[in-house]
Chain A
Amino acid sequence: MIWLGIDTANTPLAIALVKDGQVIAEEVANIKLNHSGGAMPAIDRLFAHTKMKPADLDAIAVSEGPGSYTGVRIGVTIAKTLAWTLNIPIVGVSSLKILAANVPYFPHVICSLVDARRQNVYAGAYSSKDSLEVIIEDGHYELEQLLNQLDALNQPILFVGHDVEVFYEKIAERLGERALRAPYPFNLPSASQLIYLAEQQPLPAAETVHAFVPTYKRIAEAEANWIKEQKAKQHD
């Protein structure tokens, strides 16, 4: 069984090929490259290095978000087009769960976090027991609101993700000694972790590929404003 994994949900680009439970090749880059220009050449290189062909693939794993809207869409568009036209299944995995998978033996709470601008974050909290049991649902949170929820857990919390440093001062201020930082090698998503997590999910039928969409965790701003207007009209 040969898997291709793609994560372009945030700044890093992560891709991997896994064959029968072995990582064949993996690439990660944390440069501000443009995923639209960079993802496909990287995938092409990966196949060239490994002397594999697209037709060799049996399944595709993709980071479904949350993250940069455009970034998530690039990975999902490439993944779903490949899956559809090669007639193979696509499995989506949370971008935050992929990060949490980097620190599997931490005995307390793991919090994956991505900068969502204006003191907001995309975040989720997991327990490493039972293959990453969800403690706090993935979502778009105000940092304060997230810290309130984490504080209430009353446990040591390991923060993971390359945006943690943006918020760490505030996190440490609030949680004190309960706040821990993952060492930097664990802060980038790994596409082999993505594939490993995807393998633990049931394989959907290839026909469901068309319906696969990103998990944004936020409605578009214009839509939010429109809903607000409709509600205001109802009150008039």
Chain B
Amino acid sequence: MGEFIMEKDLYVLGIESSCDETAAAIIKNGTEIVSNVVASQIESHKRFGGVVPEIASRHHVENVTLVIEEALTKAGVQPSDLDAVCVTEGPGLVGALLIGINAAKAFAFAHQLPLIGTHHIAGHIYANHLVQPMEFPLLALVVSGGHTELVLMKEHGSFELIGETRDDAAGEAYDKVARVLNISYPGGPKIDQMAHESDGAVNFPRVWLEADSYDFSFSGLKSAVINYQHNAIQRGEEVNRYHVAKGFQDSVVEVLTAKTLRAAKEYQVKQVIAAGGVAANKGLRASLEKVFKEEGIPFYVPPLPLCTDNAAMIAAAGTEMFKMGVRSDWSLNGRPGMELVSWNRK
């Protein structure tokens, strides 16, 4: 098949259920959000101090058809108007993924539409495509509760992992530190807020690993925070939680910013984007914006609702896959540990 020729508008339904959000969206031509519906379960998981997989799966099955219906209704789109159905194939919680996948399969089967399994992180990266056309080579910093990755893209559908966390994801470190500081779930946004309001900071270590490495490590920093807290308690001292929050955030942000900047320069990228739930962190956004402005490299981060899990990003990535001829068959299954690999043009 030759180059894809766009004769008519493309409407793609995206479905996402990899963690604790049940989401569906309709995207036109890969870049225009026609509808974007997210049913969050956060209130339900709060009492457990984190996402409970079985509870998440139960909520997904309650919500999934309602969410898809709302996405279609808000868009004023009929199933017959659609060109494809895209769904998060992985990574994520397997029981949660299976609900979106089986709903997507049944919907696509009912209307005999092409089905495309999409990578969750490719989705986060393509969230930017809904705001600002992607330009290549492009560097993406993906930071969320499950991921901390630097991804180099030379063209659409090409993903080269140049760095990743060797232990905890950045968001995971935020959640763990929040627990140590007795901050209720989800703790990330609160630590960000406390860091913003703090008048001082504890000096925690920066973990750089080898000089040329783009990998990350946050478990040592997390241990340093726990030890600091523990020692203070043993000495009977009051811990200033604001200073701890700011000290922790400063360390995370400095390392993420420095490595992203070094990679952007080495690979001479035309665009840097941040993606994933932690990209909503104000401290991180401000730091990245500042250095890339100084460097003269365009930097973009999607608005908050497109940083957290959503289906618009899945449909955006899925539309590019559709154009490249990528398809899944009815045996599509959840892949909790799915790796991000480049799409093969068909």
- Residues of A whose CB lies within 8 Å of any CB of B are 34, 36-41, 43-44, 54-55, 69-70, 73-74, 76-82, 84-86, 209-210, 213-214, 216, 220-223, 226
B289 within 8 A of A: no
Which residues of B have CB within 8 Å of A216? 58
8 interchain pairs (CB within 8 A)?
Answer: A41-B330, A70-B98, A73-B58, A73-B61, A73-B98, A74-B98, A78-B105, A81-B107
Say how far B294's CB is from chain A's closest CB, in angstroms: 47
CA gap between A31 and B245 in the complex, in Å: 52
Is B186 among interface residues, defined by CB-CB distance under 8 A?
A: no
Q: Scoring B residues 307 to 346 as 1 if CB is less than 8 Å from chain A, else 0, what string do you get? A: 0000000000000000000000111111000000000000
A36 touching B106 in the complex, CB below 8 Å, given contacts A220-B52, A222-B48, A222-B54? no
Kindly report which residue of chain B lies nearest to residue A39, judged by CB atoms: B102
Known A70-B98, A73-B98, A84-B69; judge A78-B330 contact (CB<8 A): no
Q: In which size bucket is the chain B interface?
A: 20 to 34
Residues of A within 8 A of B101 (CB): 36
What is the interface of chain B mostly: helix, strand, loop, or mixed?
A: helix
Apart from the given pairs A73-B98, A221-B54, 6 other A-B contacts in the complex at a CB distance below 8 Å: A40-B102, A69-B54, A70-B57, A73-B57, A216-B58, A223-B52
Which of chain B's residues have a CB closer than 8 A to the CB of A77? 61, 64, 98-99, 102-103, 106
A81 lies within 8 A of B331 (CB) = no
C-alpha spacing A84/B67, complex, angstroms: 12
By beta carbon, the residue of chain B nearest A83 is: B65
Please pick, from A78, A81, A222, the residue contacting B52 in the complex, using a CB distance under 8 A.
A222
Closest to B329 in A: A41
Instruction: Find out whether the CB atom of A81 lies under 8 angstroms from the CB atom of B57.
Output: no
| In the bound complex, CA of A82 to CA of B103 (Å) | 8
Interface centre among A37, A85, A222 (most CB of B within 10 A): A85
Give chain A residues whose Cβ lies under 8 Å from the Cβ of B107: 81, 85
B48 and A78 within 8 A (CB): no
Q: In the complex, what's the smallest C-beta–C-beta distance from B73 to chain A, in angstroms?
A: 12
Q: Which chain A residues border B333 with CB–CB below 8 Å? A: 34, 36-37
For B63, give the chain A residue with the smallest CB separation: A210
Q: Is the CB of A36 within 8 A of B110?
A: no
The answer to whether B69 touches A73 (Cβ under 8 A) is no
Q: CB-CB < 8 A to B112: which residues of A?
A: 54
Docked Cα-Cα span, A44 to B95, in Å, equals: 23
Say whether B66 faces chain A, with CB atoms less than 8 Å apart. Answer: yes
Chain B residues lying within 8 Å of A39, measured Cβ to Cβ, are: 102
- Say yes or no: B98 contacts A44, CB within 8 Å: no
| Chain B residues with CB below 8 A from A82, complex form | 106, 109-110
Complex contact B331–A37 (CB within 8 A): yes
Measured CA separation A39–B332 after assembly (Å): 10
Contacts of B69 in A (CB 8 A): 84, 210
Docked-complex contact A85 and B54, CB < 8 angstroms: no
Are B55 and A54 neighbours in the complex by a CB distance under 8 Å?
no
* A41, B65: Cα distance in complex, Å: 21
Tell me if B8 is interfacial: C-beta within 8 Å of chain A.
Answer: no
